[in-house]
Structure 1
Amino acid sequence: MEKSNTQKIKLGLFVITATLLLITLLYFVGDRQNLFGKNFKISAIFNNVNGLQLGNNVRYAGINVGTVKNIVMINDTTICVDMVLENNILKHIKKNALANIGSDGLVGSMVINIIPNTATALHLKPGDTIKSYTNISTASMLNTLNTTNKNAAILTSDLLKITNSINEGKGTVGLLLNDTEMALNLKKTSENLRVASEQTSTTISQINTIISAINYNESVAAVLLSDTIAAKQLKTTILNLEKSSTEINEVVSNLNTVMFKINNGNGTLSLLLNDTLLVKNIDTTMLNIKESSVLLNDNLEALKHSFLLKGYFKKQEKKLQKEEKK
């Protein structure tokens, strides 16, 4: 009988101890999951949850404010995650906040980070859905690094080939690095370009000096450069010269035609120029006229001394002398 009572007492103590331990455990778990406090639910839509599980923490600005309540796959590219947050954080979260899935450390469990937005927006209400964005996963980063390493290996191989070709003197770069004669020619060319540049600079300076020395009030060059009226007159003069040149060409053409007709025609000028017999006859006629003129003068002189006309000639001389005196 005593043995039975002792067993009952031990069993009662065990049950009481186990019950206390269970209550304590439930308290801590409930406190961790916010089971005994006021809370509210919000949702976020993701394309990939990256191993997120029920009960994982939800952080706002780095502070644990709730846990993951439910994960539902809507379709092959959309996953809805329901979160339970503490009620006292509701006044701090706005509708433009962003949800992001990350890891708690390098090898820790996954967590949802709610990132506040500095832009002005309305406060979040229970049951609202916030926007989300997905970080690049570790696998994607490793794939990218792997591709980068392959490309770097190919690039290194190509650079090695190019370097070997340059060292062997192949290609333009190889010739530039290994051909001393070409290097000297390039050096001379560079020197010639430098000299030409200096001379060009000197010429431009001289031109500037000449332009600066122009007297814009009196010089002809200034008038030609700046006076629009003089420019118009010069343009008119050039047009007149061009017109005169055209008319002179026409005159010369007409003269050539006349000369052709004279040389090949039967007119008076053609005869005068080409008929030698006519010229001789004209010379003879002129000589005869000259001789006749001399004889006529002699006859007139004889008439002056003739007694019949002597008085008449004296009267004419007196008349001429009176007119000269007047």
Structure 2
Amino acid sequence: MRGENKRNVLVGIFVFIGIAILVAGILTLGGQQKKFVKAIQLKAVFDDIGGLQTGNNVWFSGVKIGTVRKINFYGDSQVEIEMNVEEEVVEFIRKDSKATLSSDGLIGNKIIVIYGGTTMAPPVEDGDRLESVMPLDTDQMMETLQVNNENLVEITNDLKVLTSKLAAGEGIVGAVLTDSTLAESFKTIIANLNNASVQSNRMLTDLNSFTSKLNQEGNLFNDLVTDTTLLTEFKSTMGSLKATAQNSEEMTEELKAITEKFNSSDNSIGVLLNDEEFAKSLKQTMVNTDSATYNLNRGLEALEYTWPFRKGFKRKAKAEEKADENN
């Protein structure tokens, strides 16, 4: 009898321990799954959830705040995720927050990450649907990396061919690298460029010195730029020069008209300048006039010896001799 009671006590102890372990496991699992805390439901729709399962965690700012409650198909080919989120963190999640898929570690379980949101938007409420953002697809990333690796191999092969040609002295660059004559010519060119640079700097220095002198007070250029009175006088002088130029142009036109008249034969000066027959006639007249004048002088000289005028010329000669003696 005592042995049977002892066995019953041991069985009762083991049952109690088992029940305690079961309750502790349920409480632990329920605490991890947020089963015994007040929560609200949020939703998000994704094109592809990438293996996300019910019970996976929901994170916000690096803190676990809930779990995935349910996964439903939505629309034609999308998936709707229902999440249980602790009510005590609802005030930090805004209606303009976003939800995306991530993983717990490098190769861990899939999780949902809630991020973003502005203080201008109100906190979320039970049943709200957050905007979803698809993460980068790992498979696409691997495909892109594979393409990049292939391109890198091609680039490496091209560089190998290029360096081999350069080492063999092919092409301009290869010739420059291997031909000492070209290297010396290149050095000469660099030296000439250096000299040209020095000359340019010197010229710029001289130009700066020249411009500084031009900007000094009392300089004509500085006065022209800064003195408004001189500028007014300069404008007045330019106006006078312009008027003079206009007058010169008018005078030139008048002289042109006069010269055109000189070249014409309808006036006396034009006849004198352009009519050859008139010129010959005038020349002959001048010759005749000269001959008549000569003959007239001869006749006047002959009058001195004629009887009617002989006494008068003698008196004139005596008067002239007397006047010369008095002087």
Task: Note the residue ranges of structure 2 that are not aligned, 5 or more in a row.
Answer: 314-327
Partner AA of 2:49 in structure 1: V
Amino acid at match of 2:295: N
TM-score (ref. length: structure 1): 0.70
Percent of pairs with identical residues: 25
1: CA distance, partners of 2:257 / 2:168: 75
Structure 1 residue 173, shift from structure 2 partner: 4.4
For residue 72 of structure 2, what is the aligned residue in structure 1? 72
How big is each residue's C-alpha offset from its partner over 1:204-259, in whole Å with a ceiling of 9 and x where there is no partner?
6446636756347999xx96897111112223333433444454455445545569
CA distance in 1, matches of 2:214, 2:21: 109
In 1, Cα distance between equivalents of 2:261 and 2:211: 48
Instruction: Specify whether residues 145 and 218 from structure 1 end up closer, same or farther in structure 2 by C-alpha distance, changes over 3 A only.
Output: closer
Partner of 1:195: 199
Corresponding residue SS for 1:290: helix
Residues 45, 74 of structure 2: 8 Å contact kept: no
- Is 1:269 aligned with 2:279? yes
C-alpha offsets along residues 265-288 of structure 1, whole Å, 9 cap, x if unaligned? 355334235xxx555423211212
Query: Aligned pair in 2 of structure 1 residues 305, 60: CA closer, same or farther (>3 Å)?
Result: closer
| Alpha-carbon shift at residue 141 of structure 1 (Å) | 2.8
Match of 1:310 in 2: none
CA distance in structure 1 between the aligned counterparts of 2:189 and 2:32, rounded to whole angstroms: 83
CA distance in 2, matches of 1:197, 1:116: 57
Instruction: Tell me if 1:214 matches 2:219.
Output: yes
Partner Cα distance (2:169, 2:112) in 1: 61
Q: Distance in 1 between matches of 2:111 and 2:86?
A: 16
Partners of 1:217 and 1:10 in 2: CA distance: 120
- In 1, the alpha carbon distance for the partners of 2:161 and 2:70 equals 58
Q: Judge which range, 205-214 or 78-87, deviates more.
A: 205-214
Matched with 2:154 is 154
SS at match of 1:73: strand
Bigger drift between 279-288 and 51-60 goes to 279-288
CA-CA distance at 1:261 after TM superposition: 6.3
Map 1:101-120; keep pairs closer than 5 Å.
101-120=101-120
- Sort the Cα spacing of 1:195 and 1:86 in 2 relative to 1 into closer, same or farther, 3 A: closer
Aligned partner of residue 156 in structure 2, secondary structure? helix
Within the candidate set 286, 289, 292, 1:282 is matched to 289
Q: Distance in 2 between matches of 1:271 and 1:72?
A: 134
Which of these residues, 161, 180, 185, is aligned with residue 183 of structure 2? 180
Structure 1 residue identity aligned to 2:292: T
SS of the aligned residue for 1:59 comes to strand
Question: More displaced, 200-209 or 119-128?
Answer: 200-209
Tell me what 1:98 maps to.
98
Matched to 1:287, the amino acid is Y
Find the residue that maps to 2:44 and give its secondary structure.
strand
Report what 1:141 is aligned to. Answer: 141
Contact 1:59 1:66 in 2 (8 A): yes
Per-residue deviation at 1:198? 2.8
Please report the RMSD computed on the Cα atoms of aligned residues, expressed in angstroms: 4.3
1:112 to partner: Cα distance: 1.3
Q: Indicate how the Cα distance of structure 1 residues 123 and 234 shifts in structure 2: closer, same or farther if over 3 A, else same.
A: same
Q: Within the alignment, does 1:56 sit opposite 2:56 as a pair?
A: yes
Q: TM-score, normalised by structure 2?
A: 0.70
DSSP 3-state at the match of 2:36: coil
1:235 and 2:238 aligned: no
Displacement, 1:35?
A: 2.8
Instruction: Say whether residues 1:32 and 2:37 are aligned partners.
Output: no
Distance in 2 separating the partners of 1:163 and 1:232: 73
**Higher mean Cα deviation, 98-107 or 206-215?**
206-215
For the residues of structure 2 that align with 1:252 and 1:172, how far apart are their CA atoms?
Answer: 73
Q: Does 1:89 align with 2:96?
A: no
Equivalent residue number for residue 324 of structure 1 = none
Higher mean alpha-carbon deviation, 226-235 vs 126-135, is at: 226-235
Q: Is the contact made by 2:41 and 2:84 (CA closer than 8 Å) also made in structure 1?
A: yes
- Distance (Å, rounded) in 2 between the aligned partners of 1:172 and 1:228: 62
Conservation of the 8 A alpha-carbon contact between 2:103 and 2:110: yes
Given the superposition, is the C-alpha separation of residues 261 and 48 from structure 1 closer, same or farther in structure 2, using an over 3 Å criterion? Answer: farther
CA distance in 1, matches of 2:126, 2:39: 9
Report the number of matched residues.
296
Worse-matched range after superposition: 18-27 or 51-60:
18-27
